[in-house]
Amino acid sequence: MRNLIKKTLTILICLSFSTGAYSISQSGSNSRDKFGFDAESIDTWMSEGVMKEKVKVDLPAIFKKAVSFRQGMLEDIPKTIERHSKKSSDFNVITQSVGYEKLPQIWNYFFSTSLVLVGNAMSSTPIVAYYNPFLDSVVYVQWKVEGNNIMAEKMSLNSFETTGENQISQVKWVEKGGSPADLLKGYQEFKDGFERDYEFKSTLDATVPFIKNQDYKKEVLEARSLKALLEIGAIFNKKSKNNIKEAWVSLSGALQETDKIKLEDLIPKENVMSVQKVLEIPFKLRSRLAPVFVLIKKDQTHLYQQVDGAPKFSAILSVKNAEDEGKNVINEFMFFSMETVVR
């Protein structure tokens, strides 16, 4: 299996350089997916989450450091590691990987679409998990707190395996259907497990989990990340013409311009989230959506998006795959929060 992953990763990297696109395999068959949400659940998360008045909380310094590290990994990985760690060699698992050497954007993408979880925050060795729900992969970083000095000490990573043979494309939440509810359940499962192992308020010293076969897990993470990047690239290639690209361009323009008439024309009346609800999403969120993951099914394509700089706020655009250009092809559009509890 490991040789297969390495070979696949090499092929994908070669494809990215030679064509700039990648042939996306179809998954499942649904004329219209049920996302697992209804109007009531949307009202709940809007009132308790995105629309709730922010309360100022004095977060531990480690949380700010963890977010700073994540942001740096989007811009300059070697400098970020050098600036935040005493021994940058401890992080060679990233900088000396095949994927990083050939296409460092693999790791930029991983961190840009990951969520930050902090455990044992009150201890001298807090643990931070950078969990990517789309790739079902995680990077753990152990920090050392000495007064006002906080430095990264150790790192481990994991890519959670699926029941199928293809560990690259069939992550668990995609295997289960690929809906937002499936994505959220996967995130909740990881978060619950992390918080059991690393309680936020714990003062006990901790260490990153020991993960067997780190090289193999890293190769799976890189292959999943690269595949996701190439699939997004294939959709939004300048020469590409497809329904999802045209729908997203029109929709994002209307969201940024707060064009209610255009949104009513684009979004179906039976949409689970009404145009009025869409426009209640703060402008600073709905105007900064960026495509991060695409899932093509037999009759439709799902385009997942995250708010740039606030990845816990997401959206999904579902579009028909029919070739009737010029017609309204949007099946569904809705915002959701990664913190939404799904049962």
| Per-residue tens of pLDDT for the chain, all 343 residues | 444 445 444 544 454 444 343 333 334 434 334 555 555 655 665 555 555 545 444 567 899 999 999 999 999 999 999 999 987 677 888 988 888 988 999 999 999 999 999 999 999 999 999 999 999 999 999 999 998 899 999 999 999 987 766 666 578 999 888 999 999 999 999 999 999 999 999 999 999 999 988 888 999 999 999 999 999 999 988 787 788 999 999 999 999 999 999 999 999 999 889 999 999 999 999 999 999 999 988 888 999 999 998 899 999 999 988 765 555 689 999 999 998 765 5
Q: What's the pLDDT score for residue 168?
A: 66
The amino acid at residue 256 is Q
Q: What's the pLDDT score for residue 129?
A: 97
Q: What's the pLDDT score for residue 157?
A: 94
Extract the tokens encoding 126: 């807090």
Q: What's the pLDDT score for residue 261?
A: 96
Q: Please answer whether residues 88 and 73 qualify as being in contact, where contact means their C-beta atoms are separated by less than 8 angstroms.
A: no
Q: How far is CA 202 from CA 119, 128, 215, in A?
A: 7, 13, 31
Q: What's the pLDDT score for residue 89?
A: 73
Q: Please answer whether residues 182 and 189 qualify as being in contact, where contact means their C-beta atoms are separated by less than 8 angstroms.
A: no
Alpha carbons 168 and 188: distance in angstroms, whole number: 21
Q: What's the pLDDT score for residue 38?
A: 58
Q: Please answer whether residues 118 and 60 qualify as being in contact, where contact means their C-beta atoms are separated by less than 8 angstroms.
A: yes
Alpha carbon distance, N-terminus to C-terminus of the chain: 34
Other C-beta atoms closer than 10 Å to the C-beta of 145 total: 18
Q: What's the pLDDT score for residue 1?
A: 44
Residue 282 burial by CB count (10 A; 0-12/13-18/19+): exposed, middle or buried?
exposed
Q: How far is CA 295 from CA 24, 32, 150, in A?
A: 8, 13, 39
Q: What's the pLDDT score for residue 9?
A: 47
Q: What's the pLDDT score for residue 22?
A: 34
Q: Residue ranges of the alpha helices (H) in 149-301?
A: 172-175, 180-197, 214-236, 243-257, 260-266, 275-280, 283-286
Nearest to 333 by CA among 262, 256, 248, 249: 248
Reported pTM: 0.85
Q: What's the pLDDT score for residue 327?
A: 57
Q: What's the pLDDT score for residue 7?
A: 47
- Residue 106: what are its φ and ψ, rounded to 5°? -55, -45
